[in-house]
Amino acid sequence: MGTRIVWYACNWSPYFLKVAVPGQRRPPGFAPAFRPLIYSGSRLLLVALISIALVGLTALMHYEVLRGLTWTLPAMAIPPRTKVLVVILAEFVAHVLEITVYGLAILLLTHWNQTGSLSGAGGATVWNCMYFSAETFTSLGFGDLVPVGSIRLLAGVEALNGLLLIGWSASYAYIAMERFWSAGGDSS
The single-letter DSSP state of residue 170 is H
Reported as type and span, the H/E element at residue 100 is helix 80-111
The single-letter DSSP state of residue 5 is E
Helices (H) and strands (E) in the chain, counts: 4, 5
Does 26 or 165 have the greater pLDDT score? 165
Does 69 or 183 have the greater pLDDT score? 69
Dist CA 45 CA 52 (whole Å) = 11
Share of the chain above pLDDT 90, in %: 55
> What is the model's pLDDT at position 124?
86
Tens digits of residue pLDDT in 151-177: 999 999 999 999 999 999 999 999 999
CATH number among 1.10.287.70, 2.115.10.20, 1.10.600.10, 3.40.50.360, domain 40-184:
1.10.287.70
Instruction: Please state the three-class secondary structure of 62-94 as a single string.
Output: HHHHHHHHHHHHHHCCCCHHHHHHHHHHHHHHH
Does 112 or 15 have the greater pLDDT score? 112
> What is the model's pLDDT at position 21?
54
Dist CA 152 CA 132 (whole Å) = 12
> What is the model's pLDDT at position 6?
45
Average pLDDT, the chain: 82
Dihedral (C-alpha) 104, 106, 107, 109: value to the nearest 10 degrees? 120
Indicate the burial class of 132 (C-beta count within 10 angstroms; 0-12, 13-18, 19 or more). Answer: buried
Does 158 or 36 have the greater pLDDT score? 158
- Where exactly does CATH 1.10.287.70 map onto the chain? 40-184
Q: What is the pTM of this model?
A: 0.75
Does 51 or 120 have the greater pLDDT score? 51
Exposure on the CB side of residue 148, measured as CA atoms within 13 A: 10
Q: Name the pLDDT band for 142 (thresholds 50, 70, 90).
A: confident
Tens digits of residue pLDDT in 88-140: 999 999 999 999 999 999 999 998 877 889 988 888 899 999 999 999 999 99
